[in-house]
Amino acid sequence: FRVRFWSIKQKKSKRSILTVSGSLVSLMSPNKYRKEGCKIPCSPTRQNTLPYIPPKLSPVKRRSQLTWMDSVSGEKGTSCLPSLSRTDIKRQEAIYEMYQGEKDIVDDLITVTKLYRDSLITLGLMSQADVNTLFGNIDSLIPVHQDLLTRLQLQRRPDGTTQSVGKQIYEWCDSLRAYVTYCSNQIKAKSVFDETKNEPSVDDFFQRCIASPFSRKLDLWTLLDGARSQFVRYPLLVRSILKYTPSDSGDASHLEKSIKLMEDIIREADLQMGVARCEQSKSALTYLFDEQKIPEIEASVALVCSGHLKSTKGNKLYVFLFDKVVVVSRSSTQGGKHHYQVFREPIPVQELVVEDLPDGEVKLGSFRSAFGQGGQTAKNLIRISFQDSSKGQSHTFLANDEHDKRQWMQAFHKITSKIITVVGESKIKDRQLSCGPSQN
């Protein structure tokens, strides 16, 4: 074989070529320099990626704001307007408001069942039991409103006016009893909604629904509670029609009977909601001792009032004022569910004494700071205790403000007459001075 020797001049020339080619390679794009068969995708840091931009929201589905006058302003209705008085027009507007409200509530209920409830079941985001509790007997409400909607449509004349609706409304009223069951279920439904909406998958589903045009930017609970809101508005809607209806007409008597029947059904629904609220509150109580489970708790059927109150030591307590017992508790969470641990002994209403304490008579803080110098005095105080002090300890509560204290005192007045208004030392001194001997 041959051995080739490079001269010094040739070596320098070869080195200069390599240097030039190396500098050219450094200027070339790495993708172009690599072989076609060994392409490596660029890393995310090398790509010119733009930040994620969410798609534009679809236009919100808005409700019709047309009045009755707008609806009959076409060719069919123009002939009837000159013959109608101002009172007649207002009556037509009131009837049309009820008609339009029925159309809206039917649309909302169908939206809730088809797009919310059925989707939650199909996607498996909630258990069947939770779905049943959340939506209750909503399927039975849709025919109720469709029935009234059909009745009002049949009463409407070709020119757009409606003469008589009283008999139709009165015959329809009894179907509103479906709302007694629906409203009583709302207490449990709200609890299920509050618990499940915090789950990431469910929250994501709800947010996507709110962003969709069919929801009108309303969350699920607003739509569910909208049915109850429409239910309690019926007496007001019928009164508006009655206001512009001649009193000597047969329509007026039917409208009056309708209002009475509606109000009776609403009262029944309110009563059942109170019972359901009471049962839910009782089920949320937990006990440290068996002695705390007194019969008056189970016998209670109404929750008169409940809310947060502070002790004079600054501890936050939650007080349940039932119709037969007062329960003081501490809020706690167990297994992701909210509970209330009973604190000290529940006080039966038959043994309850309530004291309306004056401002400045009790000091805040611990035992040492309360009886030391410079202790801060408390305002808006309420004390509850047993008539027989040996049966249990008393509680001294600090309300948030004067209005809050007034609300609690009004609630206590509903269940007991044993309420004492304590007169402060400063007022006693003022009375003594005012009743002292007069100087001649």
In this predicted model, what pLDDT tens digit does every residue of 169-183 receive, in sequence order?
Answer: 999 999 999 999 999
- Its pTM stands at 0.75
Q: Which of 359, 364, 350 is nearest to 405 (CA)?
A: 359
- If one counts every other C-beta atom within 10 angstroms of the C-beta of residue 147, the result is 15
- pLDDT score, position 361: 67
Q: Residue 252 in contact with residue 166, Cβ under 8 Å?
A: yes
Q: What percent of the chain has pLDDT over 90?
A: 63
Q: What percent of the chain has pLDDT over 70?
A: 76
Can you tell me the distance from the alpha carbon of 358 to that of 381, in angstroms, rounded to the nearest whole number? Answer: 7
Average pLDDT over residues 152-178: 94
Q: Which of 294, 285, 269, 308 is nearest to 136 (CA)?
A: 269
- If one counts every other C-beta atom within 10 angstroms of the C-beta of residue 186, the result is 22
Specify the amino acid at residue 146. Q
Q: What is the DSSP letter of 179?
A: H
Residue 416 above 70 pLDDT? yes
- pLDDT score, position 187: 94
Domain at 288-429: CATH code: 2.30.29.30
The SS3 assignment for 328 reads strand
Extents of the domains making up the chain: 68-283, 288-429
Mean pLDDT of the chain, nearest integer? 83
Q: Does domain 68-283 have CATH number 1.20.900.10?
A: yes
Task: Say if 68-283 and 288-429 have the same CATH topology.
Answer: no
Alpha helices in 112-246 (DSSP H): 118-123, 128-135, 141-155, 166-173, 178-196, 200-211, 220-243
Residue range 75-89, pLDDT digits in tens? 454 566 777 889 999
Residues whose CB falls within 8 Å of the CB of residue 102, separated by 6 or more in sequence, listed in order = 145, 148, 149, 152
Average pLDDT over residues 27-42: 47
Instruction: Find the helix or strand (DSSP H, E) in which 396 lies.
Output: strand 395-398
